[in-house]
């Protein structure tokens, strides 16, 4: 399972995920600045976001790398 670099929680299939320098973060765990989409964490720059304002986890991760709802 893939986890957020900040909160270390597994990604769920519908989580908004941003990619910064090949690292994965929940969109809500970082601050996104619209100057070309730049991510910050606690006032420290992480880098430019590679996928705009984020994509759903199921769009960028492989099956088995995120949690799914139990049916």
- 29-66 pLDDT tens trace: 998 776 667 888 998 888 888 887 788 899 999 999 99
The pLDDT score that the predictor gives to residue 34 is 66
pTM beyond 0.95, yes or no: no
Sequence-ordered list of residues with C-beta below 8 angstroms from that of 41, at least 6 positions apart, any chain:
6, 29, 30, 31
Spell out where 10-70 has E strands: 16-20, 23-26, 31-33, 38-41, 44-48, 55-56
């Amino acid at each position: 399972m893939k986890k957020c670099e900040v909160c270390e929680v597994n990604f769920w299939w519908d989580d908004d995920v941003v990619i910064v320098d090949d690292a994965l973060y929940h969109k809500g765990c970082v601050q996104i600045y619209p100057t070309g989409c730049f991510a910050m964490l606690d006032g420290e720059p992480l880098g430019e976001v590679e996928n705009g304002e984020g994509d759903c986890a199921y769009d960028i991760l492989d099956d088995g790398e995120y949690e799914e709802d139990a049916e």
